[in-house]
Structure 1
Amino acid sequence: MIRALDIGWRDWELPQIPLPTLPDVPVPDLPLTPAQAVILLSAVAAGLGLLLSARSSRVAAWLAILPAGLVLLTSLWQMYAITETGDPTLSGTIGTLAFGELTVPLELSASRLSALVAAVVALVACVVQVFARWYLWYDPRYRQFSATVSLFTAAMLLVVLSGDILLTLIGWEVMGWCSFLLIGHLSAKDSANRAATKALIVTRLADVGFVIGLVALAAGAGTTSISGIIEHWVTVGTDVVARPGQETLLSLAMIGIVLGILGKSAQLPFQDWLPDAMEGPTPASALIHAATMVAAGTVVLAQLFPLLQAAAPARVLLAVLVSVTVVLAALLAFAQPDIKRLLAWSTVSQVGLMLAALTVVPAGTGPDAAIMHLISHAWFKALLFLAVGWMGVLTGGTVVRYVVSATKRYRSLRRPLGLGLLSLAGVPPLIGFVSKELVLAQAEHGVEHGAGISGTIVLAAVGASVPLTAAYCMRAWLILDRGPRRRSVREPRRHQGQQIIDDFFAEPEVVEEAIGIEEAESAISSSARSGVAVLGLLSVVGGLLVFTPQIRFDQSFNLQLLGASLLLMALAALAVWVASRGVGSRDAAARLPITVSLAAERGLGFDRLYQFLVVRPVLALAHGVQWADREVLDAYVRATGPAARLLGGALQHTHPRRPAPGLVLVLGGLVALAALGVVLT
């Protein structure tokens, strides 16, 4: 329709901002490379946090937050070093292993994009650690939580900086285990235990394909080095193609890897575990949804990007499934009765956008658009989850009926929640707008350059997600900002001796419940508030990253398509505003039929589908094997006793009870000969 108007708008190319010349700081020779240091620091922090903190949350905080800060500084130094050299850097770990004909170098590789992602992961993890110190102030298991977050960070950094698929697999599996621990942190709740178990089982089921795919790639190449695998399987030139005779095997291996990534990234048909993971503490949700776990699949495919480009069946499968997930999850997000679950389904949809961007990249172009949306999502989604966790402390929960007018009652929530929702909706000039337009431009460019039917599907899904995202963001804001503006009246203190938590290392013996709105807002620690503010600032100015050499996007923007997306967003927001009028809570989703609301809350019944397609067949197979073991195999063992008695009874009737004299003489002669032989010997 836009093209039919034949508006003479020229496409717009991203300009490069002339950056100031970096100071010529020499990179010193250190015993560890930055890649080694960030992983080792996080892993050591996890171990020390459990071994040395004993029962002191103060020591646990030092052992979690101080290393997280050092990891952040080291990752930023790594970005500077790579900018200076301009080339990826390789570093070893424990040395090369040789398993027969398979070479396992176990190397780390830091490139332009991986160093950038590592810095983002380190930043979000540091903010989460600071926020968790306040949020889990009275949690008796804070030590375990902070140590698990450190280990989770180390695992994600290992995946990001891995140059070896064996290291990738180790980090991948450690993240799955850490997510199980964090989701089930509140182990006294049955719902938390069920959610943690569900996440572990669903992701492990998908990981079967992931492991098989990696094994096939390594076996064919004779090495686990990512660069060696890419060099063996594909030819990179004007186009990326599989080497002759290897197309089928490469496609099968990449399909297995795609299935594993779909499970870890909560994409169709494995999407249902992530909303249930909201049973974990909010800082854990911020970490899993923003910088680790669900984003790991995008990182792995970016590392194996030439293989995905050369494996057309795997690329089409990924494009179709993530496109359906993008639209389906956005629809489900709109109907959720809980703000945290709304954000969870939003994460499912946004991760689908990252993966979709990878499927429409033509040859000669890198995965920068997907990585940019990963960074954008990490910042604004961490901001939203932490702000919602802060709101939950003040309101007593995150269900819609608890949070109505929250930003009116607690003014300090207004800015972080507003910035987070605006960025998620893609409102200019926030970072969410920039990254989503990159994905949309990438999809359009892919369709124009022969992406085929998968490119058309991706473009349609990305375009449909624009108004849907704006709709559920508008719905959330109308709920939070309902009602008249709160009068700024300071309520008198009833307890003058009250202490307020204002530093995450202070541990007052008694902290009473805050009295009055002003006191309640100030109950958050200053450090936690500062972390939220940093994420808010990055959500506003982070879009400038595309004008720097860190992100290379050569495609031009179709200004007509950009204008159409902004118009659709405005129309969707207006429609939600109109639908919310007349509803007491200003919740536009209250207009939906109750059957639709219940179905959306239950994830459209995918739990029952899992039961029917996976659980019941597996249990039936297990019962069948148990019956065969008991009734068939054990029957032979149990039958030996009756068979021996039956045989003895039959022989009893055919032979006399007393031995024959001749037999006695023969046996006596044998005994005598044996004795004689022993004596003579």
Structure 2
Amino acid sequence: MIPTVDWPWPDWELARLPLPALPDLPVPDLPGSPAQWAILLSAAAGLFGLALSRRSSRPAAWVAIGCSGLVFAAMVWQLYAVAGTSEPRISSTIGALSFGELTVPLELSASRLSALVAAVVSMVAFFVQIFARWYLWFDPRYRQFSASVSIFTAAMLLVVLSSDVVLTLIGWEVMGWCSFLLIGHLSAKDSANRAAGKALLVTRLADVGFVLGLIALAAGAGTTSIPAIVEHWSSAGPSAGLSLAMVGVVLGVLGKSAQLPFQDWLPDAMEGPTPASALIHAATMVAAGTVVLAQLLPLLQASGPARVLLALLVAATIVLAALLAFAQPDIKRLLAWSTVSQVGLMLAALTVVPAGDGPDAAILHLVSHAWFKALLFLTVGWMGVLTGGTVVRFVVSSTKRYRSLRRPMGIGLLALAGVPPMVGFVSKELVLAQAEHGVQAGMGTAATIVLAAVGASVPLTAAYCMRAWLILDRGPRRRHVPAPRPTADRQIIDDFFSEPDVVEEAIGIEEADSAISSSARSVVALLGFFSVVGGVLAFTPQLDLALTVNLQLLAAALLLMALAALAVWVASRGVGSRDAAARLPANLSLATERGLGFDRLYHAAVVRPVLALAHAVQWADREVLDAYVRAAVPTARLLGSALETTHPRRPAPALVLVLGGVVVLAIIGVVLS
């Protein structure tokens, strides 16, 4: 990134911290594995939460939070159980099935990386359940929300711990339906219903390729076991069948992860409650594609077309989403576009992994993103309760007025921007190092494009984080308003457009703290703690990061971040709200708010052709197929009329005698028998 400067700086190799050995705790012989218990408890919490709490939300809260806590404990125990082992822990579900030549083992697998991801997923779900109990305290549909979160968690854990593509597909589809319920939780709002339907339709459209790709992989290997599928196709070598199957899987991942051309559903998903956004955007649905591709990484590496397609689309998404995030008029939508960009970083890290290396850099960014993005969404939800909304005009100076918001919001934005020593800094620099390593390993032009996109995202992310902070931390102007003269004979009218006076810090802290429960505030504090110290994870044996960090590249990235933040600060001067995006042209701001018109593209490319085809099928059914049925009645009537003209209306006497004789013979036969 600095080709004109040749500094003799050596690359920095990641060191391993001298961590103390884990205590050799006795592992009790319990019926079932932690993976089985976690998935069953999450699913049971969703079912029993509705069945046992029809009149009160209190039992639903106890069921949801209690089971989520037990699931988190089980996943932490599983993480300890697999620490230091190279072989995954396999556990069964309902037993193996056999469909002719296809074997379906239906097994779960807990490996070093999957156990880590499962622990983080269960942690975020546990924290979201605690926060939602306060946030949705007066919501009459809290029971449905908590149950949906529990089932959603079970589905994500099933995807993470699956060792079978059938289980992966089940968890994948259940997450899609639960996201529909969570996004459309406020069903009285038309915008929420539209956003939920849009998310369901867009992701279902992409899932067609995902299902077909998994079917092709399983049919070729003769089994649905993921390790067996990887072994079969890896030994067979690159082929057209593998490329087509992996292209289908990549399309499904792009849809679920909201990458081009399916990216537009995620910002609209902000119509859901903020805890749902924290769950979907942080560690679950949008990150599920990264988990699946990490499991199939050898096949992605062996499939050149699928890898190049994924690299090009996520590289474009990283830059486009970061640009759109800068211009959003709503803080939640800013975070949504930020999620699209950050998920692109995870997927980009997978496209530049040379053969033989693992997906550890992508998984680390998944974990770090789960922590700081959940922190940001929950803090924004807390702020929205205090300010009445998350639109820029509502949240201006909110961290000045409510000082308790200042620390968690600052930590979250620093981690998102990648400022050292936050966890986001460690994971992003390792993604950048992974991209550079891929270029040096000869991964082709796609790796160079990915490196450029990841490098461009560094200043862009810093820019929109700085913009958000300047808006939230803008200090109210101090103005001296002279007192009116006692003799002035005129009415004093308060100007409700005037800016408020500076609020005392103690008042702001008291108001912010009294608005939130202590448990919800503790959740925010814990997420802030992990966002600060979580980078230590990269130096532990839990991750195998055989990467060297280019110190010149690191210095250039930090310099670009500082310059971008400075440019935004300069642009914000002179703007009343300190919003640098206010200087953008109105037409551009409106276009970015609408996602650059991708809705119209969806209508032109998908909706209109589908509706036209439906109308054509309806016309063919009505005018062609039904025509035969409708024509049968007049045809029969016309035939009857023609026959009526050729026969007399009164029956012939001979015919009457014959019929009478038949009746007499029948009666005689019945009597004699």
Same fold by TM (over 0.5)? yes
Number of the residue aligned with 1:269: 261
Is 1:554 equivalent to 2:570 in the alignment?
A: no
Give a deviation string over 1:352-376, Cα, whole Å, max 9, x none.
Answer: 1101111110011000011000001
Give a deviation string over 1:549-575, Cα, whole Å, max 9, x none.
Answer: 111111211111111111111111111
Residue 523 of structure 1: how far off its partner (Å): 2.1
Distance in 1 (CA, whole Å) between partners of 2:574 and 2:643 is 96
Number of the residue aligned with 2:410: 418
Kept in 1: contact 2:404–2:512 (CA 8 A) = no
Number of the residue aligned with 1:109: 109
Distance in 2 (CA, whole Å) between partners of 1:429 and 1:490 is 30
Of 478, 487, 504, 1:488 maps to 504
Q: 1:527 corresponds to which letter in structure 2?
A: S
Q: 2:233 corresponds to which letter in structure 1?
A: W
Please list, as runs of the form range in 1=range in 2, the aligned pairs for 1:212-223 lying within 5 A after superposition: 212-223=212-223
Kept in 1: contact 2:387–2:395 (CA 8 A) = yes
Distance in 2 (CA, whole Å) between partners of 1:42 and 1:566 is 42
Is 1:588 equivalent to 2:604 in the alignment?
A: no
Number of the residue aligned with 1:289: 281
Distance in 1 (CA, whole Å) between partners of 2:205 and 2:174 is 15
Structure 2 SS opposite 1:122: helix
Q: When the two structures are aligned, how many residues end up with a matched partner?
A: 649
Residue 658 of structure 1: how far off its partner (Å): 5.4
Q: TM-score, normalised by structure 2?
A: 0.93
Q: 1:413 corresponds to which letter in structure 2?
A: L
Structure 2 SS opposite 1:6: coil
Structure 1 SS opposite 2:578: coil
C-alpha distance 315-490 of structure 1, shift in aligned 2 (>3 A) = closer
Structure 2 SS opposite 1:53: coil
Residue 519 of structure 1: how far off its partner (Å): 3.1
C-alpha distance 358-652 of structure 1, shift in aligned 2 (>3 A) = same
Give a deviation string over 1:514-540, Cα, whole Å, max 9, x none.
Answer: xx7623432211111110011101010
Please list, as runs of the form range in 1=range in 2, the aligned pairs for 1:182-261 lying within 5 A after superposition: 182-235=182-235, 243=236, 247-261=239-253
Number of the residue aligned with 2:379: 387
Distance in 2 (CA, whole Å) between partners of 1:432 and 1:489 is 30
Number of the residue aligned with 1:239: none
Q: 2:619 corresponds to which letter in structure 1?
A: W
Distance in 1 (CA, whole Å) between partners of 2:506 and 2:333 is 34
Is 1:532 equivalent to 2:524 in the alignment?
A: yes
Q: 1:2 corresponds to which letter in structure 2?
A: I
Distance in 2 (CA, whole Å) between partners of 1:280 and 1:660 is 81
Give a deviation string over 1:612-641, Cα, whole Å, max 9, x none.
Answer: 111111111111111111111111011111
Residue 87 of structure 1: how far off its partner (Å): 1.9
Distance in 2 (CA, whole Å) between partners of 1:411 and 1:423 is 19
Structure 2 SS opposite 1:637: helix
Provide the identity percentage. 79
Residue 22 of structure 1: how far off its partner (Å): 1.1
Which of 665-674 and 599-608 deviates more?
A: 665-674
Residue 676 of structure 1: how far off its partner (Å): 9.6
Distance in 1 (CA, whole Å) between partners of 2:192 and 2:330 is 16
Is 1:133 equivalent to 2:133 in the alignment?
A: yes
Is 1:13 equivalent to 2:19 in the alignment?
A: no
Of 461, 464, 478, 1:472 maps to 464
Structure 2 SS opposite 1:317: helix
Number of the residue aligned with 1:92: 92
Number of the residue aligned with 2:358: 366
Give a deviation string over 1:198-252, Cα, whole Å, max 9, x none.
Answer: 11111111111111111111111111110111111112xxxxxxx15x6111111
Structure 2 SS opposite 1:257: helix
Residue 652 of structure 1: how far off its partner (Å): 3.0
Give a deviation string over 1:585-616, Cα, whole Å, max 9, x none.
Answer: 00000000000000000011111111111111
Q: 1:199 corresponds to which letter in structure 2?
A: A
Give a deviation string over 1:113-164, Cα, whole Å, max 9, x none.
Answer: 0000000001111111111111111111111111111111111001000001
Number of the residue aligned with 1:435: 427
Q: 1:563 corresponds to which letter in structure 2?
A: A
Of 337, 346, 368, 2:338 maps to 346
Kept in 1: contact 2:290–2:347 (CA 8 A) = yes
Residue 401 of structure 1: how far off its partner (Å): 0.6
Which of 398-407 and 479-488 deviates more?
A: 479-488
Please list, as runs of the form range in 1=range in 2, the aligned pairs for 1:329-340 lying within 5 A after superposition: 329-340=321-332
Residue 409 of structure 1: how far off its partner (Å): 0.5
Please list, as runs of the form range in 1=range in 2, the aligned pairs for 1:20-169 lying within 5 A after superposition: 20-169=20-169
Structure 2 SS opposite 1:90: strand
Number of the residue aligned with 1:641: 633
Number of the residue aligned with 2:497: none
C-alpha distance 546-274 of structure 1, shift in aligned 2 (>3 A) = same
Q: 1:488 corresponds to which letter in structure 2?
A: E
Number of the residue aligned with 1:507: none
Which of 143-152 and 373-382 deviates more?
A: 143-152
C-alpha distance 648-190 of structure 1, shift in aligned 2 (>3 A) = same
Is 1:626 equivalent to 2:642 in the alignment?
A: no
Residue 489 of structure 1: how far off its partner (Å): 6.2
Distance in 2 (CA, whole Å) between partners of 1:309 and 1:677 is 88
Residue 671 of structure 1: how far off its partner (Å): 8.2
Distance in 2 (CA, whole Å) between partners of 1:487 and 1:602 is 35
Which of 643-652 and 114-123 deviates more?
A: 643-652
Distance in 2 (CA, whole Å) between partners of 1:647 and 1:469 is 80
Give a deviation string over 1:632-681, Cα, whole Å, max 9, x none.
Answer: 11110111111011112222334455566787788889889999999999
Residue 85 of structure 1: how far off its partner (Å): 3.6
Residue 325 of structure 1: how far off its partner (Å): 0.6
Residue 444 of structure 1: how far off its partner (Å): 0.8
Is 1:572 equivalent to 2:564 in the alignment?
A: yes
Distance in 2 (CA, whole Å) between partners of 1:490 and 1:373 is 37
Number of the residue aligned with 1:445: 437
Kept in 1: contact 2:405–2:512 (CA 8 A) = no
Give a deviation string over 1:451-474, Cα, whole Å, max 9, x none.
Answer: 111111111111111110000000
Which of 463-472 and 58-67 deviates more?
A: 58-67
Kept in 1: contact 2:131–2:519 (CA 8 A) = yes
Gaps of 5+ in 1: 236-242, 492-515
Residue 84 of structure 1: how far off its partner (Å): 4.4
Give a deviation string over 1:21-65, Cα, whole Å, max 9, x none.
Answer: 111112222101111111111111111211112322222221111
Structure 1 SS opposite 2:548: coil
Residue 298 of structure 1: how far off its partner (Å): 0.3
Distance in 2 (CA, whole Å) between partners of 1:655 and 1:489 is 106
Number of the residue aligned with 1:240: none
Distance in 2 (CA, whole Å) between partners of 1:674 and 1:308 is 83
Q: 2:149 corresponds to which letter in structure 1?
A: V
Q: 2:614 corresponds to which letter in structure 1?
A: A
Q: 2:305 corresponds to which letter in structure 1?
A: P
Q: 2:274 corresponds to which letter in structure 1?
A: T
Distance in 2 (CA, whole Å) between partners of 1:348 and 1:488 is 38
Structure 1 SS opposite 2:549: coil
Gaps of 5+ in 2: 478-501
Number of the residue aligned with 1:327: 319
C-alpha distance 26-343 of structure 1, shift in aligned 2 (>3 A) = same
Q: 1:357 corresponds to which letter in structure 2?
A: A
RMSD across aligned positions (CA)? 2.0
Kept in 1: contact 2:402–2:505 (CA 8 A) = no
Distance in 2 (CA, whole Å) between partners of 1:430 and 1:347 is 17
Please list, as runs of the form range in 1=range in 2, the aligned pairs for 1:452-463 lying within 5 A after superposition: 452-463=444-455
Structure 2 SS opposite 1:234: helix
Structure 1 SS opposite 2:545: coil
Distance in 2 (CA, whole Å) between partners of 1:541 and 1:30 is 34
